[in-house]
Structure 1
Amino acid sequence: MATVHHWTGLEAKALRLALRLSVRAFAQELGLAVATVSKWERKLSDTEPRPDTQAILDTALGRADASVHLRFETLLSEMTGPLTGTRPRVTASGPRAWEYESWADDLDRVVVALARQNFAFADSLLTRWLSRFKSPELDEKGLYLFARSTALLGDLKRDQGAVLGPLSATFAYAGARTVFTQLDIPRRVAQLDLSLAVVTEMSGNLESAARTYENLAVDDRLSRRDRARARLWVGTALSKDGRHDYATRVMRAATRDFEDLTEPDDWSVAHQKLALARRGAGDLTQALHFIDIARSSGTVDSPMQRVRLDTAHGHILLSDAATRDDGLLVLDQAAKVAAQYGLVHQLRSIESIKAMSEGSVGPRQR
C-alpha cells in the first residue's frame, strides 16, 4: 500500500481527487478549514501541511480502500511526471494497491476455473502470484491473499489426485494453514483442517480421517454448513471402512442439516453418499432410490460432480447381475469425462470398481 513520507499540497490534492471529494467535503472530512485545503490546491508542492495535519492525512490515506489507493498512486504518477520536474514522495511496500486488486480478482477467476476443472488456467493464475511474492515482504492483506492462493492450490492438487508429496494437496494445505494461523483467523484454520482430513481420507487413512471429521463436526470455528459437511464425511469414511449401517445413520443426520440450511447441492451430494453406503450394505433398492434422488436434484455443471454421480450410479448398477452391462456403460462414460478433464483420482476409482466388480463389496471411492 502507498506510503507518503512527506505531504505537500500536491499529495493532498491527489488524495482529495482519489477520494472523489470536493474541496469543501475534503476539508470537512479532515476537520480543517476550507481555506487551508484551497491553499494546498493553489500552491501544490510549494506548501507543506503542519506536522499534526500530516498525521491527519496519513490517517485518511490509511483508512482508504484499495480502489482509492490505486487512483491516488495513478494521479500522483501523472502529477509528478517528467514534464513537471517534480519527484514523487510516495513509495509502496510489497505489492501496490492495484496489484492487490488484481490478485483478488484472479483468485475469483481461479474458483470458477476449478469448478469447471480448468486446471491449466487455474494453475497459471495461482503461479503468477505465488511465484511473484514471498511471504516475508507482504503485509496482512498480502499474507491473506497468499494463504488463500495456497489453499486454492491445494484444491487444485486434490482434484488432480496429487494427495501426498512435496507438490501435493497436503503440502499446500499445510502451508496455507500455517499462514492463517499466523494471521489468527480461526475459521480459515479450521477449514484447512477439514481439507487436510479429506486428503487423509483420499490417501486411505480412514480411521484418522474419521476422527478428525468427528471433531470438526462439533467445532464452533466452522460454519454450520461446514460442520454438516464434516458429519457427512464421517459417514463417508465409515462406509469405506465397511461400517455401512452406522455410516447411513450419520449421513442421514447430515442430510437433515443440509435440508434445514436450504443447501440443495450438499443435500444432493449427501444422497449420493447414502446410495453408496446402502450399496455397500447390500441394500440395492435403497441404493437406487438414493442415487435417483441425487441425479434428479444435483447440479451437474461441474465435470467433477458429473463424474462422481455417474461413478456412483455405475457402481450400484454393476452390483446387480441384471444391470451389470448398463453399469459398465455408465462407468465407461464417466471414465471418458474424467480423462478429458484430468481427474486422475476419479479414473483410479473407476478402474478399481471395474476390477473388483465381481466382489460383494465395492472399492473405497470418493
Structure 2
Amino acid sequence: MATVHHWTGVEARALRLALRMSVRGFADHLGVAVRTISKWERLLASTAPRPDTQAILDTALARSDAAVHLRFETFLSEASRPTEGQHRRVTAAGPRAWEYESWSDDLERAVVALNQQNFAFADHLLGRWLPRFPSKELDDKGLYLLARSTALLGDLRRDQGAVIGPLSAHQAYTGARSIFTQLGIPRRVAQLDLSLAVVTEMSGSLETAARNYEQLAIDDRLGLRDRARAMLWVGTALSKDGNHDYAARVMLAATRNFEDLTEPEDWSVAHQKLALAHRGSGNLTHALQCITIAQNTGITESPMQCVRLNTAYGHILLSDPATVDDGVRKLDQAARLAAEYSLSHQLRSIESIRTTIPRASDSPGR
C-alpha cells in the first residue's frame, strides 16, 4: 500500500482525486476548511499541510482500500511526469487515454482477485495488458502501469509458489524494479527490494534474506508500515534458521510498531509469526497465547491467511504429545484449503511439517 513521507499539495490533490471527492467533500472527509483544500490545490508542491494535518492525511490514506491506493499512485505518477515536450512521445500505435483508464480499472480488479487468491482471474486481467504495448510506445503513465502490472504478476507467481527461475516471482519483481528505477520512484523500488527479499527467504536463503530485511527495516525510502514489516520478516528468517529467542525479540518490537501505527491486520499476522518463534524455542504456553490472539483478531478472509493460521496452529499442537491428533486435523484442514486455491508453497510447508509427526511405533513401550 502507498505511504507518504511528507505531504504537499500535490499528494493531497492526488488523494482527493483517488477518493473521487469534490473539494468540499474532501474537506468534510478530513475535517478541515474548504479554503485549506483550495490552497493546497492552488500551490501544489510549494505548500505543505501542518504536522497535525499531515497525520490526518496519513490516516485517510491508510484507511482507504486497495483501489484508492492504486488510483492515488497513478495520479502521483502523472503529477511527477516531466513537462510537455520533455516526456516520451506516444506513437500512433500506442495506447489512448481510454485504454489507460481501462488498464487502471483492471489493475484494481487484479488486486482484489489476488487478495482472494483467485489466481486464474488475476492472471487473465494482467494478461490483457502485459504483452499489449511495447515499452517504447509508452509514456511515463503507461510505464508506471506496466511496472505495477509486472509487480502484481510477481505477487501472483509468489503466491502460487513459483519463486525463482524463468516465469517466476523473482523475474517479475526484477523487471518491475527496473521500470520504477527508470521512472525515478525510489519508494516503489524499495518496496520491490522488500518483495525480492521475501522470495529470497522463500527459496531457502535465510541468512541473505535476514540481512536484506535488516537493511530495509531502516530504509528511509520505505514508509513506517513497510519498515515494520521488514523488521517482522527479519524475525521470520531468523526463526526459520533456528534462532528462535532472538527472532521473538525482533518480532515483538515489530508487533509494537504495528500497534503504534494502528495496523490491526499486520498486528495479528505478527502474533502468528511470534507464536511460531515461541514454539521453536519450546515455550508452548506463549505460543498458544499468541496464536489465539492471531485467530481472534485477524480481520482478513483471505484463504492464504486462513491456511497460514491453521498451519501455524497445527504446528504448535503437534509439539505437545497430548494434542498431536488435534494438530494433525488442523494441518489436514489447512492442506485442503491450500489445495483448493493452488497454494503450492503452503502445501510444501505443510508436508514438511507432517514429516515431524511422531509415529505410533515411536511411542514409549512399543
TM-score (norm: length of structure 2) = 0.73
Q: Is there any run of 5+ residues in structure 1 with no aligned partner, and where?
A: 1-64, 67-89, 360-366
* 2:301 is the alignment partner of 1:301: yes
Aligned to 1:59: none
User: Are the equivalent residues in 1 in contact too, given 2:268–2:293 (CA < 8 A)?
Assistant: yes
Q: Which amino acid aligns with 1:271?
A: H
CA displacement, residues 217-276 of structure 1 (integer Å, 9 cap, x when unaligned): 000000000000000000000000000010011000000000000000000000000000
CA distance in 2, matches of 1:153, 1:289: 36
How far 1:92 moved relative to its partner? 5.0
CA displacement, residues 305-336 of structure 1 (integer Å, 9 cap, x when unaligned): 00000000000001111000000001101000
* 2:124 is the alignment partner of 1:124: yes
Identity value in percent: 75
User: Are the equivalent residues in 2 in contact too, given 1:248–1:277 (CA < 8 A)?
Assistant: yes
* 2:111 is the alignment partner of 1:104: no
Aligned to 1:218: 218
Aligned to 1:170: 170
CA distance in 2, matches of 1:272, 1:304: 13
Q: Which amino acid aligns with 1:112?
A: V
Aligned to 1:147: 147
Partner secondary structure for residue 188 of structure 2: helix
Question: CA RMSD for the aligned pairs?
Answer: 1.8
CA displacement, residues 49-71 of structure 1 (integer Å, 9 cap, x when unaligned): xxxxxxxxxxxxxxxx99xxxxx
* 2:321 is the alignment partner of 1:321: yes
**Regions of 4+ moved over 4 Å:** 90-93
CA distance in 1, matches of 2:134, 2:235: 40
Aligned to 2:227: 227
User: Are the equivalent residues in 2 in contact too, given 1:113–1:119 (CA < 8 A)?
Assistant: yes
Aligned to 2:343: 343
User: Are the equivalent residues in 1 in contact too, given 2:91–2:137 (CA < 8 A)?
Assistant: no
How far 1:299 moved relative to its partner? 2.1
Specify the structure having the higher radius of gyration (Cα): 1
Partner secondary structure for residue 130 of structure 1: coil
User: Are the equivalent residues in 2 in contact too, given 1:94–1:139 (CA < 8 A)?
Assistant: no
CA displacement, residues 121-145 of structure 1 (integer Å, 9 cap, x when unaligned): 0001101100111211111000000
How far 1:119 moved relative to its partner? 0.1
CA distance in 2, matches of 1:92, 1:105: 23
Q: Which amino acid aligns with 2:226?
A: D
What number of residue pairs does the alignment pair up?
273
Q: Is there any run of 5+ residues in structure 2 with no aligned partner, and where?
A: 1-76, 79-89, 360-366
Q: Which amino acid aligns with 1:143?
A: L
CA distance in 1, matches of 2:340, 2:330: 16
Aligned to 1:256: 256
TM-score (norm: length of structure 1) = 0.73
User: Are the equivalent residues in 2 in contact too, given 1:238–1:247 (CA < 8 A)?
Assistant: yes
User: Are the equivalent residues in 1 in contact too, given 2:265–2:300 (CA < 8 A)?
Assistant: no
Question: What aligned pairs does 1:48-127 form with structure 2 within 5 A after superposition?
Answer: 92=92, 94-127=94-127
Aligned to 1:161: 161
